[in-house]
């Protein structure tokens, strides 16, 4: 159902504004967007439709087709670990930014699976903030929207994420990748290889970024930053590595992932520009090994899915997103896609194709 129709059915009126906001998949550069790294996310054709009408009082009503309920709140409410927190936080921060002056009626419909690592929550926040900004007479650029959206997640939701998802969603169009320098937010839009498909397969293992695993890795990285005395883990020196190795094997391994993942992301950007997709594939597969062995953010079922994806002909495959569940991303020749997908899914009955 379109969000306009959902809005009409729920509130018995037409919405003032409606938009589509893409989800994102990360090709390479995992868990380094808060450690000084370069990342390569792609905005998706699947995403979130949002219809919204601002209100002059402080009430907020939110309908979502994925939960099939209307939640009634006020802009004075705080997060309560419910699906509606993301929309609530977006309206609260749209007020803080002066885009709105009061609550809103909202209807959300989605083509993105939840808990898949495809950033449905960031898409919702960016989408609402952009709609709210469009209703105000303020000129707001895409990077400022991304920064505000990150604040909603960090401050309102309590999810200590980096800036990758919000930037990918706010700053590029579906089907395009951005090579993003997370230190200064400069980015280059990159076209994807024409003869290959970027396939996304959900493992059937569900996860939430707020379930604590992401936070644990973030906290380990915070300790590394304290030990080395700066925030740029991805570019740490050999001496800093030795210092870490003598302090803790776990922390050393986390840092090893960050440094090597940053280098792989740089090489992957070059490989795409050189149209060397087999090289991109190898880097993706190496990235998975690093996430599995050093950052320790994978699951056995996901490792098996990645291995089978490669054995069945993908040039490369890896877990994508925050980890501990969700989707894999694989690079597959378009002409082999149908058979590849059928064979992979028949080996993994819990898995399903997203794109």
- Catalytic positions are 165
Query: Interface with ligand GLA by CB under 6 A: which range of 127-135, 160-168, 170-178, 332-340?
Result: 160-168
Query: Interface with ligand GLA by CB under 6 A: which range of 26-34, 78-86, 173-181, 200-208?
Result: 26-34
Best CA proximity match to 256, nearest among 293, 214, 230, 306: 293
**By CB under 6 A, is residue 22 in contact with ligand GLA?**
no
- Coil/strand/helix, residue 316: strand
- Could you say which residues in the range 176-235 bind ligand GLA, by CB under 6 A? 209
In terms of CB distance, is 198 or 337 closer to ligand GLA?
Answer: 198
- Could you say which residues in the range 88-127 bind ligand GLA, by CB under 6 A? 119
In terms of CB distance, is 33 or 308 closer to ligand GLA?
Answer: 33
The count of residues interacting with ligand GLA (CB under 6 A) is: 13
Minimum CB–partner distance for residue 217 and ligand GLA (Å): 9
Binding mask 268-307 for ligand GLA (x = CB under 6 A): ----------------------------------------
Torsion region of 143: left, alpha or beta (phi above 0 gives left; psi -120 to 50 gives alpha): alpha
How far, in Å, are 7, 170, 316, 328, 342 from residue 126 at the CA level?
Answer: 19, 6, 30, 24, 34
**By CB under 6 A, is residue 321 in contact with ligand GLA?**
yes
Please give the helix or strand (H or E) that residue 47 lies within, else none.
strand 41-54
In terms of CB distance, is 61 or 217 closer to ligand GLA?
Answer: 217
**By CB under 6 A, is residue 165 in contact with ligand GLA?**
yes
- Coil/strand/helix, residue 322: coil
* Contact yes or no for 107/7 (Cβ under 8 A): yes
Mark out the alpha helices in 172-248 (DSSP H runs).
Answer: 213-228, 238-247
CB-count exposure of residue 191 (10 Å: 0-12, 13-18, 19+): exposed
Query: Interface with ligand GLA by CB under 6 A: which range of 43-51, 100-108, 162-170, 341-349?
Result: 162-170
Minimum CB–partner distance for residue 213 and ligand GLA (Å): 10
* Contact yes or no for 274/305 (Cβ under 8 A): no
Could you tell me whether strands 69-74 and 186-191 are parallel, antiparallel, or unpaired per DSSP bridges?
unpaired
**By CB under 6 A, is residue 152 in contact with ligand GLA?**
no
Question: Considering only residues 15, 27, 28, 33, which one is a binding residue for ligand GLA as defined by CB under 6 A?
Answer: 33
**By CB under 6 A, is residue 164 in contact with ligand GLA?**
yes
CB-count exposure of residue 304 (10 Å: 0-12, 13-18, 19+): middle
**By CB under 6 A, is residue 326 in contact with ligand GLA?**
no
**By CB under 6 A, is residue 31 in contact with ligand GLA?**
yes
Minimum CB–partner distance for residue 12 and ligand GLA (Å): 36
Cross-strand bridge partners of residue 54 = 104
How far apart, in whole angstroms, are the C-alpha atoms of residue 136 and residue 156? 22
* Contact yes or no for 50/124 (Cβ under 8 A): yes
How far apart, in whole angstroms, are the C-alpha atoms of residue 272 and residue 169? 20
Q: Which two structure tokens, joined as six digits, stand for 237?
A: 């020196």
Q: Which two structure tokens, joined as six digits, stand for 327?
A: 């989707």
Minimum CB–partner distance for residue 236 and ligand GLA (Å): 18
Residues near ligand GLA (CB under 6 A): 26, 30-31, 33-34, 119, 161-162, 164-165, 209, 321-322
């Amino acid at each position: 159902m379109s969000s306009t129709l959902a809005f009409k059915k729920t509130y018995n009126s037409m919405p003032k504004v409606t938009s589509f906001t893409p989800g994102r998949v990360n090709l390479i550069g995992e868990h380094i967007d808060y450690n000084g790294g370069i990342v390569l996310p792609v905005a998706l054709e699947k995403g979130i439709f949002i219809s919204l009408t601002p209100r002059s009082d402080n009430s907020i009503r939110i309908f979502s087709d994925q939960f099939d309920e209307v939640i009634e709140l006020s802009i004075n409410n705080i997060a309560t670990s419910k699906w509606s927190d993301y929309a609530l936080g977006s309206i609260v921060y749209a007020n803080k930014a002066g885009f709105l002056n009061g609550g809103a009626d909202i209807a959300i419909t989605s083509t993105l699976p939840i808990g898949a690592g495809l950033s449905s929550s960031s898409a919702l926040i960016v989408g609402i903030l952009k709609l709210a900004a469009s209703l105000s007479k303020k000129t707001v650029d895409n990077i400022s929207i991304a920064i505000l959206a990150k604040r909603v997640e960090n401050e309102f939701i309590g999810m200590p994420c980096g800036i990758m998802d919000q930037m990918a969603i706010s700053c590029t169009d579906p089907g395009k990748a951005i090579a993003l320098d997370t230190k200064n937010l400069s980015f280059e839009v990159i076209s994807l290889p024409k003869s290959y498909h970027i396939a996304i397969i959900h493992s059937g293992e569900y996860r939430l970024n707020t379930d604590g695993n992401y936070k644990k890795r973030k906290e380990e990285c915070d300790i590394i930053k304290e030990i080395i005395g700066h925030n740029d883990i991805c570019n740490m020196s050999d001496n800093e590595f030795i210092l870490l190795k003598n302090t803790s094997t776990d922390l050393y391994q986390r840092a090893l992932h960050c440094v090597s993942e940053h280098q792989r992301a740089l090489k992957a950007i070059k490989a795409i520009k050189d149209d060397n997709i087999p090289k991109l594939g190898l880097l993706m597969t190496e990235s998975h090994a690093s996430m599995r062995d050093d950052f320790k953010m994978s699951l056995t079922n996901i490792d098996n899915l990645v291995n089978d994806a490669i054995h069945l002909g993908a040039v490369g495959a890896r877990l994508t997103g925050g980890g501990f569940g969700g989707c894999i991303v694989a690079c597959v020749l378009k002409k082999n896609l149908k058979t590849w997908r059928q064979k992979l899914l028949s080996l993994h009955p819990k898995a399903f194709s997203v794109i």
